[in-house]
Amino acid sequence: MPGSIAREIVQRTDAVNTPIAIYIHKSREAVAALLGILYSGNCYAPLDIKAPISRTQSILEHLKPTLIPDDAQRQPGSDRAQWQLASDAADR
């Protein structure tokens, strides 16, 4: 699973050595996402999903991540997080 996540990151963006913010509930999938981010040659920054939105926005403004995987729009029955380019996530 981490390998497929790494491939998905590489396919979506050619970023290397850039931060990817991760906004996913603690789970096996979150660990796989962290490993996949590392395998893709990037670094991760886990965000606290319980933090106030203003704090999360401040962190994202300073971090300027390339991607932001989240599980807010996960399809029923799916265990895959939705990977969004950071510019797409800013529009939400």
User: C-alpha distances in angstroms, 5 versus 47, 81, 91?
Assistant: 18, 10, 23
User: C-alpha distances in angstroms, 28 versus 11, 64, 65?
Assistant: 23, 26, 22
Taking 80 as the threshold, does the pLDDT of residue 84 lie above it? no
- The model's confidence at residue 86, banded by pLDDT at 50, 70 and 90, is low
Digit-coded pLDDT (tens) for 25-70: 888 888 988 999 999 999 999 998 899 999 999 999 999 988 887 7
For 36, the 3-state DSSP assignment is helix
Looking at every residue in the chain, the average pLDDT score rounds to 80
Measured distance CA(57)–CA(63) in Å, rounded: 10
* pTM (two decimals): 0.75
Taking 50 as the threshold, does the pLDDT of residue 12 lie above it? yes
Structural domains of the chain ordered from first start: 2-90 (3.40.50.980)
Q: What is the pLDDT of residue 92?
A: 46
Q: What is the pLDDT of residue 81?
A: 54
